[in-house]
């Protein structure tokens, strides 16, 4: 398909495909992925915790696994767009995008004014594909231009050569978090942790300047209260669940709700508290939709999850008292009950499979999901419940704590 791979012309949407999404499970038509690259090679035992990885991935194998994931999507008629390709195309197309990307990556506060100006000038002259690689993969002090001219910069002299002048973005693999689509609009999120903060700037400049997104309108953008896309579930048209925990704050959830109400994109937003720990970093690590009326859910959440129901009220927001999440969600969706498929009834199995992203499925259509093949018990339970499971390898991709849903940002679902 034209415009979706390395070396292709500027990406375009397939004929008849329109940007936007209104639910988690409507047939998927186009998706944004990020093929892992140099940024994963930057991970070391010294920095992997800071960069939010639990292990050092075997990069070549992670790329093979990701390519296989993309191939499964394409085999089901999904147009796959790679963020690195779109970024290079955007930079080639727009001088403003080039400046925006460089400004977000080069910090005078960190590098000092002189070195920051020197590096910015150098990057402004790089070819688009090289600049895109630097903005995602980072740059060490050893890789700076004019590495022998250190006398003009104390910062340069005092840093070790392997330190990062521009931080890599290994979590860019998880394209779900920095943006999402709701209705015909896109939302740019504010990521909570410093290691991921710059990801939104790249997504932002792609949506703002790539021709494929020309005319697209924003639904939400906040630089104050954190909201991450992994916490946002489109349960049904007009009904949104937002996890509130380690990454998305109560203020972020309320700010998102106000924006969606103002734009007429939702009538109900459910704020769902989740534990503030790494295993439960987003709502989609414990619950994802697998059919119009069904979710796969971590068993401990089944009876304990609650939701605060937010609705528009005279130009503001009314917030109801906490109620059982499954009950509040079914009512807002206008159905009698949500079917729940547990990730194993045995507590040890359930905990292991939740950690291995058994709950983090990507729906390609109602009753059809992509899941890691290592979550054997969860996948069996999904199949027994009538769900078609397309299994992929995730031994290396999962080292950053994310599954198929985390790694994908739907650009287009059927309405």
Q: Catalogue the active-site residues.
A: 406
> What are the tokens at 364?
């390609």
Helices (H), 263-363: 299-302, 325-333, 347-355
384 Cβ neighbours under 8 A, 6+ residues apart: none
- Burial of 285 by CB count in 10 Å (0-12 exposed, 13-18 middle, 19+ buried)? buried
Tokens 């403003």 sit on residue: 96
3-state secondary structure of 403: coil
**Element containing residue 389 per DSSP (H, E):** strand 388-392
**410 has which bridge partners?**
31
Helices (H), 32-127: 38-41, 59-75, 83-93, 95-105, 108-111, 113-124
Whether the Cβ atoms of residue 35 and residue 63 lie closer than 8 Å to each other: yes
Q: Per-residue b/e over 2-35, b at no fewer than 16 CB within 10 Å? A: ebbeeeeeebbbeeebebbbbbbbbbbbbbbbbb
3-state secondary structure of 336: coil
Q: How far apart are CA 348 and CA 353, in angstroms?
A: 9
DSSP string over 224-269: SS-B-GGGEEEEETTEEEEEESSSS-HHHHHHHHHHHHHTTS-SEE
3-state secondary structure of 357: coil
Residues in the chain: 415
Q: How far apart are CA 103 and CA 317, in angstroms?
A: 36
């Amino acid at each position: 398909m034209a415009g979706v791979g390395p070396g292709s012309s500027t990406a375009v949407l397939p004929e008849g495909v329109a940007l936007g999404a209104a639910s988690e499970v409507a047939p998927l038509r186009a998706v944004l992925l990020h093929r892992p690259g140099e940024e994963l090679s930057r991970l070391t035992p010294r920095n992997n915790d800071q960069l939010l990885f639990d292990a050092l991935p075997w990069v070549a194998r992670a790329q093979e696994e990701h390519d296989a994931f993309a191939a499964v999507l394409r085999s089901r008629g999904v147009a796959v767009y790679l963020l690195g390709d779109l970024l290079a195309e955007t930079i080639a197309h727009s001088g403003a995008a080039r400046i925006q990307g460089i400004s977000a990556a080069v910090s005078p506060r960190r590098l000092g004014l002189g070195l920051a100006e020197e590096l910015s000038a150098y990057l402004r002259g790089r070819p688009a594909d090289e600049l895109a690689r630097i903005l995602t993969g980072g740059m060490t002090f050893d890789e700076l231009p004019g590495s022998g001219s250190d006398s003009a910069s104390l910062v340069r002299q005092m840093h070790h050569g392997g330190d990062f002048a521009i931080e890599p973005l290994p979590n860019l693999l998880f394209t779900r978090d920095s943006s999402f689509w709701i209705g015909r609009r896109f939302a740019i999120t504010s990521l909570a942790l410093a290691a991921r903060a710059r990801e939104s700037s790249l997504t932002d400049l792609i949506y703002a300047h790539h021709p494929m997104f020309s005319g697209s309108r924003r639904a939400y953008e906040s630089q104050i209260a954190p909201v991450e896309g992994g916490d946002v579930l489109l349960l049904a048209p007009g009904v949104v669940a937002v996890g509130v925990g380690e990454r998305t704050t109560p203020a972020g959830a309320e700010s998102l709700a106000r924006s969606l109400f103002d734009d007429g994109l939702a009538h109900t937003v459910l704020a769902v508290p989740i534990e503030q720990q790494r295993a439960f970093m987003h709502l989609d690590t414990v619950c994802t939709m697998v059919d119009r009326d069904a979710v796969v859910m971590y068993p401990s959440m089944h009876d304990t999850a609650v939701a605060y129901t937010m609705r528009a009220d005279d130009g503001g927001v009314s917030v109801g008292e906490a109620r059982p999440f499954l009950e509040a969600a079914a009512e807002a969706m206008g159905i009698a009950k949500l079917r729940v498929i547990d990730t194993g009834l045995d507590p040890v199995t359930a905990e292991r499979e939740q950690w291995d992203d058994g709950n983090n499925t990507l729906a390609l259509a109602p009753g059809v999901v992509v899941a890691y093949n290592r979550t054997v018990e969860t996948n069996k339970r999904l199949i027994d419940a009538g769900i078609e499971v397309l299994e992929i390898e995730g031994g290396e991709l999962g080292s950053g704590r994310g599954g198929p849903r985390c790694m994908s940002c739907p650009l287009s679902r059927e309405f």
